[in-house]
Amino acid sequence: MKKLIGLIAGVLLSLSVYATGGHVADAVEHAKAAAGAANSEEVTAHATEAMTHAKAGGGNPHTVAGIKSLQDAIDHAKAGHTDAAKKAAAEAATHLEAAIS
């Protein structure tokens, strides 16, 4: 019985880790799209989507740093500072990639 409980716990933990990594991977893709966006509106849209995935990705210190950079990207984009927003989004992608490696 203990082996069965251990097996079930292991499977559930593995699924949780997989789901977390999947969200962070999605966040990386959107952060990269924000960094390569043509205008502030696109940066805002992609960075916001990246933020949603990153927040679902857990509390890894790199993920937390990525979330901060995404917020900076959104703030700069809303202020019309497209280049600064794209730079912050690129920094977010770097942090988020570190969270999954």
CATH code of the domain covering residue 60: 1.20.120.660
Q: Is 80 left (phi over 0), alpha (psi -120 to 50) or beta?
A: left
| Host domain of residue 50 | 2-100
Domain count for the chain? 1
SS3 42: helix
pLDDT tens-digit profile of 45-99? Answer: 999 999 999 999 988 999 999 999 999 999 999 999 999 999 999 999 999 999 9
pLDDT tens-digit profile of 28-49? Answer: 999 999 999 999 999 999 999 9
13-48 burial, b at 16+ Cβ within 10 Å, e below that, comes to: eeeeeeebeebbebbbebbbbbbebeebebbbbbbb
